[in-house]
Every structure is written in structure tokens, then in C-alpha cells.
Amino acid sequence: MTFHHTLTYGLLSLSLIALWLPAKETKRFPVRLWHIFCVAALGCGLLFGDVQLSGLLSIAILGVSCYCTASEQFTKPVRIIAGTIMFVLSVGLSLHVVPGFSNPKVVVNVIVSEGGIPYSKHLNFDKTLVGLFLLGFTCKSLLSKPQAWGRMLKQAAPISSITIVVLLFMSFVLGYVRLEPKWSALFWFWAWTNLLFTCIAEEAVYRGIMQRFLVAGLAKYRYGATIGLVLAAVLFGLMHYPGGTKYVLLSTVAGIGYGWTYLRTQRIEASILTHFLVNCIHFVFFTYPALATALG
């Protein structure tokens, strides 16, 4: 990884971490540290070619739509339109179909597990910005106090445990992975990018936005919360279709577990940590990313 990639994505990482720091209030608006790191990361991205002007336009539209959706000073029709733009653009950026970004490929065809498919990794500026903006603009109650973290972890632990056991058992039975405890020098890089650039963005979209709005919209119906949770999980699973049918099924089951955790705790941090813990156990104890035979 080059110096300019380290600088750009290091600043982007700091902007995500800063989301959980308290804001410094002023007379007009709260000044947050994540704004500063985000602007610095965008500047580096433009300077070094990871972000083009068309990408900057998409980022600006996403930021404005997130702000309008979350702000009660706008009328309901305006907020609905803004929310629709926010959602469509978030999914597009997460799937890398919006032009204007040159996401560097920093890991190329590394064999992490014997018999596993080669592992490659891009640093995704577009997808990461989605998580940053959705949480930064639309989530007003991120955890900051140790006591609140403790309560959330206590609530989430049983559901997270069930999710991990069920999901990894299914992966084993379906022949997607096999038990293969290992330690790889790649782990720390993988953990950094997986938590900050993957788990946060995906949970912000599929739980923090999609599930939250589906559950709210179906609240007047019997089992509305469950239906909203399952619908969001199915869409989350379908997002993983490039990995094959088994991957879609496992991702859907994972989405149900993450959604259940979020529904129970009402904390996006719970689903993010459950998602990350599942991925960590997968990486360290099982074939990663998957057995080559699973894709046949």
C-alpha cells in the first residue's frame, strides 16, 4: 500500500472513529471532528486521484440528502424525496456502480487458506463514505459513555452468540468452509478494513436505514417489525449474489441475526460488532474466504 493510500484512508478511518466522539456545540451548529477528517480525506482523495469530480458531486448530493432527511426543519414531502435519493445513492455507492471513484486494489489473489479461493481487497472510498454520512447525519444517538456500551453489550451478547453458532454451523454443513484455525500476518490489515470500511457501511445501510424505515412503515401491522427485519435481511443477502447461491443464503441468515440484534438493542453498534465478530471468527478459525469447491 502506497503512502498516499495510507494517508487518504487513514484520514477516512479517523473520520469514522470520530463519529463516536462528543460534539463541541456552537451557537449555530455542532462542530464535529469527523467533519474535519472527512474534508481532509476528500482533499487527499482528489489530489491523489482516488476521487474524481463526478464522484465529488455524488458525495455532495449524498451529504445534502442525508442532512435533509434527518432535519425536522424540512417538510415531510421534502424529507421523503431526500430519503429516497439518500437510499438509492447509498446502495449505488456501496455496490460501486456510481462513477467517479478509483478504489485501489491493495491485496491481490492471496491464498489465506489451503483449498480456499484467492482473497483480494480494494480500499473503497465510495462505500466507506456511505457509512460515514449515514451515521454522521442521520444517527443522533451513537454511544459514547462506557456504561451505555456495557448495557448494549449485555443485551446483544445472547443474540450475537446464537447468530455466530447458527451461521458458522450452516457454513460448515453447506460445504462453504471447513474448520481451519490459523494465524495470518494479513489479519490486522483485514480487521482494519473489514470493521471500518465494510461492517460499518453495510450495517448503516441495511439496518440503520433500510430495516429502520421498513419496521417503522410496517409498525401498524401484526408482525410488522419481523417482516421489516426479514425484508432487509433478504435484500442484504441479494447484495452478495456475486459470491454464489450459498453466499446469498448465508448472508441472508446473517442479516437476520444482525437485524435481530439491532431490533433488540436499538443500537447500530450492536449489529456492527456482531457482523465484525462473525467475520473475525470466520477469518481465524475457518476457511477464508471460502472453499474453492463451494463455488463449483
256-287 residue pLDDT tens: 999 999 999 999 999 999 999 999 999 999 99
Q: Domain check: are 115 and 160 in the same one?
A: no
Q: Kindly state the average pLDDT of the residues 202-228.
A: 94
Alpha carbon distances (Å) from 246 to 150, 242, 281: 35, 11, 19
Note the pLDDT of residue 296: 54
For the chain, the domain total comes to 2
Q: Domain check: are 76 and 212 in the same one?
A: no
Residue 28 has pLDDT above 80, yes or no: no
pLDDT per residue as tens digits for the range 173-194: 999 999 999 999 999 999 999 9
Q: Domain check: are 98 and 230 in the same one?
A: no
Q: Domain check: are 95 and 8 in the same one?
A: yes
Task: Please give the mean pLDDT across all residues of the chain.
Answer: 93
pLDDT per residue as tens digits for the range 109-124: 999 998 999 999 999 9
pLDDT per residue as tens digits for the range 225-250: 999 999 999 999 999 998 899 999 99
Closest residue by Cα to residue 232 from 191, 268, 279: 268
Q: Domain check: are 234 and 175 in the same one?
A: yes
Note the pLDDT of residue 1: 78
Domain end, chosen from 81, 112, 138, is at 138
Burial state string for 84-119 with b = 16 or more CB within 10 A and e = fewer than 16:
ebbbebbbbbbeeebebbebbebbeeeebbeebbeb
| pTM for the structure as a whole | 0.94
pLDDT per residue as tens digits for the range 31-77: 789 999 999 999 999 999 999 999 999 999 999 999 999 998 999 99
